[in-house]
Each structure stands twice: as C-alpha cells, then as structure tokens.
Structure 1
Amino acid sequence: MANPHTALLKLTSIFIFIASAPKLGGSSKTFTLVNYCKETIWPGVTRSDNHSGDGFTLKSGQSTVYTAPDGWSGRIWARTGCNFDSGGNGKCQTGGCGSSMNCSGPGNPPATSADFSLGEIDYYDVSLVNGFNLPIVVKAMNGTGNCSTVGCDGDLRQNCPSELASKDSDKVIGCRSACDVFNTDEYCCRGTYGNPATCLPSNYSKIFKQVCPAAYSFALDDPTSLITCSKADFVVIFCGSRNQTTCSYHDKQVACNRSKGYKAIPQSCGTSAIFYHGMGPAVAKKRGKRALGGEATL
C-alpha cells in the first residue's frame, strides 16, 4: 500500500481563451472543456432525456467551449483510445457512445462523467457510478451558492483493484464498478438494497471515494457529491485534480493553473471482505434544496 506524502510541485500556467461556441438557442450556459491528459480524448455530450448528443476531438493541452440552453440536463465525459475514420465512424476503448463521432447514447462503462441539471438553481456532480476511465474536475465560475469544486484528486487507474480493472495489452485503461463486474443486488442497489437504509458504501466504493472524494461512488452519496450553484458557467477539466488546478474567469476568458502530477492516494481499504455497494445516478437530479452559502473561492 502506498503511503501519503507531500511534495513541492512546480506550477505550470495554461491559459484557456474562450472562443466562439456552438449555440443551442435561447438563454445559455457555457461549459469550457480542458484536456490536461497526456493523450488525445474525445469528449461526449448527451442529453438525459433522449441521449442524443455531440462529440469531438480534444488534443492534449487544448480547450473548447460547449454552450447549452438554460434548463438543459445531461452528461459530459471523455472517450479514450478512439479510432475514427474520415467519415467520423469508429469505436473507442472506453466511454464509447455509438459508432460515430457524435454520440447516439450514453457512454459505455467504465466512464467517469460530469452530470448537470440546469435551471434557476444548477445541480452538478462528478460520478464514478458507471466506473472510472480518467479523472474529471468540475469548477463553477462566478456563481452564487455552494458552488464547490467537485471531482478527483488522483487517477484511480493507478490503484484499481485487479478484479475491477479494465485492461488493454496489460495496461489498465479503466476501473469498472462492482455492480458492472458482479451484477448483484447488493452492489447495484436493487431489490431490498434499493433504499437509503441498505444502499451503503462497499469496500470497493470506499477505494473510489479515496481517489475522488467529491464524486459519487455509490447511489446515495448526495451529502458529499451533489452540489448546487446559481448563475455560473462551468469548467470541466479532464485529468486535472481539485486541489492542484485553479481557474479564474474575467471578461469571458478562463485562465487555469495546474500543478504537475497527482498526490499519492493510500489504498487503505482492503477488498477481501465485501459488504454493500450502491449504484449512483448518472445524471444529477433535483432532489431538494441544499443550504446555500457564499461564493466559491477559485
């Protein structure tokens, strides 16, 4: 097991300038998507009501802007290891959402997702309920309310339990959920396990929670994972970390600073004895108002 340690990290500044974005009509919200991964990714965006959506290529170090109408509810995630032909047809190692660049369905697990339900109050979260393929961080910019930064502090692929690991040529490319692997009522929160009294964390979900403390690791993770904010635009950072990525927002320009590397995450929860597991929702739902505080410090 790894021991936690602290190291001085050299900051590198990457400035992301918001350019023109596709307009979906009406009052809108801006999502700036930033790729801090070492490799190219293919973000997917789908609506929660019909799973129709978009997809595009985002090279390492690049950013782009996606604009959604007020009231939009949906999911943003990254596809990895994709191979598309000149007609936009192909497949991906993780997060695939059909056979084309534009998504025709939700991302196949394992896939880390950022989920949003927009309105007068915006609800958002990062979810590992469908597994993990890379770290995601979501920051709310210039909003009022809780507006906390959610997501990951490290990369779960580095210490995924072997029985959950999704591999390609012996390389771990994702970490599947216990529900996806074992398909039992206990892990999937079905039947008698489908309520708050019995839908509890498992030793597997605790490992997920160590790496991504502000993310859904099981179905009823709302107190720590579902966040509310008003009048904010959002930054979705792939392969960033909550405590090592800071962003500022002025005159429709986003500037983010990222520290190199991730902090060590101790794998203190063993997996020899498994108890309960919950499968969390893929899209943030409006389940009641949470207490709203001051503006978030970014």
Structure 2
Amino acid sequence: MGKFCCLHILLVLCSSFIAGVYSTATFTFVNKCEFTVWPGILSNAGITPLPTTGFVLQTGEAKTVVAPSSWGGRFWGRTHCTEDSAGKFSCVTGDCGSGKLECAGGGAKPPATLAEFTLDGDAGKDFYDVSLVDGYNLPMLVVPQGGSGLNCSNTGCVGDLNGACPSELRVTSDGGEGVACKSACEAFGKEQYCCSGAFGTPDVCKPSEYSQMFKTACPHAYSYAYDDRTSTFTCVGADYTITFCPSPNTSQKSSSGSSGAQNPGSESNGKSPLDGNMVYEGALEVSGAPRSSTCSHVLGGGIAVVAAIWWLCQLF
C-alpha cells in the first residue's frame, strides 16, 4: 500500500513538472529611445496582475518581467513623465491615471502605441499584436524569441507617426513638440471612425483615410478595430522582446525636441522594417531565455526530486 501511495505521488509530481514546462513567458523591455520611457502594464479583466505594473527605463536599459501561463494584457510606453511637489506622478502620453509609477490597474490614456498579448490561448498558441487603434505615441517592435509557428514573427510600428501626424490628430507638449498622434475615433468621436453604433460590424466599418495613413506607415499593426487579417500573430513556446524606438533610422526625439526621423516605416537598407530575417538594434541584444531553455532547468530539477522520492519508496 505504501508503494502504491509513493507511485501516486510520483505520478502527480511528474504531471506537475510536465505542466510547468511551458508555464511562464518572459517579456524583456528594451529602451533604444534617446529619452526615458516609463512602460505601463495592464492585465485583462479577471487576470492576476503581474508583479510590476509600471517602471522606468533609461536610455539603453532593459528589464525582464515574467508572466504566468494564460496571462493576457497589454504593454505601452509612457513619455514626458514628471512628479510634482506633492509626489503625484503623471505623463504627457500614455498616462494611466494612478498618480504613481505603478499603474495599479489603470490603462493607457489615448493616444498610445499598445502591445497586446493573450498567452496559451487556442491550441496552446500565444496571440499578440501591436495596436494603433488607440492612437500612437512611440515606435515599438515585438520580437518573439525561441518560439515556433507559421505566423510567429516580428510585428510593430517603427515609423515616426508623430512627425507625419495630421494637425487635427496631433498632440503637442507644452513646448509645442508633437509627442503623440490621436486616432480619428478619439479626435472626432464619430461612429464610422470608432466602429460603433450603426458601424459596429466589420461589414459596415471600413478603413478611414486616417487609419489608412497608419496602415501605410505600419502595415503589420492594427490600424482600426477590424484590422485582424494582417495584424494578429501567433507563437508557441516563445518569449518576447519589446523594444521602444528599435531602429536608429526612426523617430528618436528627445525631450528637447531633437530628431533623427526618416520617412515612416522606412529603413536605410531599403528592406521592410519588419523583415523576419533582419536583426534590429536592441531587439535581440537583451532577451529572456527561450521557454525551452527554462524548461530544461525545471525538468532537470523535477527529475532529481522524483528520483529522491522513488529511492525513499524503496525503503518501505
């Protein structure tokens, strides 16, 4: 009977370790902008928040955050952030309204470039995208590390939409610098731009001249609510690097207003900025270990524990 119990324990442990092999994903945030970025994190409704919901990244810095299996939520970058004499923290773009560095359940105030994730979804796939549906404030690139799948590839928006933003959508700082670009929905509030009301279905809500501008500059990012076909990506077993201002040839505006901007979405070598064969500055320099590598350590430890329990079982 004792050996039966031991065998039962072993089976439970084995299944636990196998289930834990792909139990986490790492997100590594890299700041290649010439200015400070304050990333924000919001978990989806009903999903446990991650250990941090907001932090600071100086130029050239990186930070890794670990997310559990089946986590879902969004990431974005806040810019031009300050703390007043009373200790209230706020940002000109992407502010989450918490009054603190940690967003603590607050989402990004539009306009903001968003990276959206649902881990371990249908058929065990991670679903992810970069969205401009709520507007744009920063170049952003998502690069999967160590994953697999037919649609497991880079996505993002690396062009300077702040420089190309129409005046009716432009958001400026106190100094008059263009720091973000609103969506037409936020700027005008009309149903045809928001895909709401009478325009609440994909058959009726079509790309506007404004969303087409976003799509032309960033062809792999969501430009409006029903832009699914070319904007959703999937991976199995990947970790992810999220880089702000990933290319030296895109917008690198600092707080003082200097710029190294080029045409939106262009690269000096003429290739698509989202060519899966290209290596982007900063995108691969610092990355979380692929889940397969993490798994080998977890599995190795699990085997050692199981072996020890089996040996003890033989004593009874």
- Runs of 4+ aligned residues of structure 1 deviating over 6 Å after TM superposition are 85-88
SS at match of 2:201: coil
Q: 1:186 aligns with which of 185, 192, 196?
A: 192
Aligned partner letter, 2:89: G
Alignment of 1:181-260 (within 5 A): 181-241=187-247
Distance 1:40 1:72 in 2: 27
Q: What is the TM-score when the length of structure 1 is the normalising length? A: 0.72
Q: Deviations over 1:85-142 (max 9, x none)?
A: 6997411001011211110311001110100000010000000111100111101111
Q: Report the Cα offset of residue 84 of structure 1.
A: 3.0
What is the match of residue 144 of structure 1? 148
What is the match of residue 29 of structure 1? 25
In 2 relative to 1, CA 58–87 (structure 1 residues): closer, same or farther, beyond 3 Å? farther
Q: State the identity %.
A: 46
- Bigger proportion of residues as helix: 2
SS at match of 1:216: coil
Distance 1:155 1:50 in 2: 35
What is the match of residue 284 of structure 1? none
Q: Deviations over 1:41-70 (max 9, x none)?
A: 100011011695610010011111011101
Q: What is the TM-score when the length of structure 2 is the normalising length? A: 0.68
Distance 2:85 2:33 in 1: 24
Distance 1:234 1:58 in 2: 17
Q: Report the Cα offset of residue 27 of structure 1.
A: 2.2
Native 8 Å contact 1:153 1:262 kept in 2 = no
Q: Report the Cα offset of residue 232 of structure 1.
A: 0.3
In 2 relative to 1, CA 172–243 (structure 1 residues): closer, same or farther, beyond 3 Å? closer
What is the match of residue 117 of structure 2? 116
Q: Report the Cα offset of residue 180 of structure 1.
A: 0.3
In 2 relative to 1, CA 50–261 (structure 1 residues): closer, same or farther, beyond 3 Å? farther
Aligned partner letter, 2:140: I
Distance 1:230 1:197 in 2: 31
Native 8 Å contact 2:160 2:263 kept in 1 = no
In 2 relative to 1, CA 88–210 (structure 1 residues): closer, same or farther, beyond 3 Å? farther
Distance 2:31 2:205 in 1: 34
Establish whether residue 161 from structure 1 lines up as the match of residue 160 from structure 2.
Answer: no
In 2 relative to 1, CA 242–191 (structure 1 residues): closer, same or farther, beyond 3 Å? farther
What is the match of residue 18 of structure 2? none
Flag the structure with larger Rg.
2
Native 8 Å contact 1:143 1:229 kept in 2 = yes
Distance 2:119 2:141 in 1: 18
What is the match of residue 70 of structure 1? 69
SS at match of 2:56: coil
Distance 1:60 1:80 in 2: 12
Distance 1:198 1:243 in 2: 37
SS at match of 1:93: strand
- Bigger proportion of residues as strand: 1
Q: 2:42 aligns with which of 39, 46, 50?
A: 46
Instruction: Indicate the RMSD between aligned Cα atoms, in angstroms.
Output: 2.4
Native 8 Å contact 2:160 2:262 kept in 1 = no
Distance 2:129 2:169 in 1: 23
In 2 relative to 1, CA 243–38 (structure 1 residues): closer, same or farther, beyond 3 Å? closer
Distance 2:228 2:171 in 1: 27
In 2 relative to 1, CA 28–87 (structure 1 residues): closer, same or farther, beyond 3 Å? farther
SS at match of 2:206: coil
In 2 relative to 1, CA 86–115 (structure 1 residues): closer, same or farther, beyond 3 Å? farther
Q: Tell me how many residue pairs correspond in the alignment.
A: 229
Structure 2 unaligned residues grouped into runs of 5+: 1-21, 251-258, 266-275, 279-316
Structure 1 unaligned residues grouped into runs of 5+: 1-25, 245-259, 267-295
Aligned partner letter, 1:48: N
Distance 2:34 2:125 in 1: 35
In 2 relative to 1, CA 126–166 (structure 1 residues): closer, same or farther, beyond 3 Å? same
Native 8 Å contact 1:89 1:101 kept in 2 = no
Distance 1:78 1:235 in 2: 14
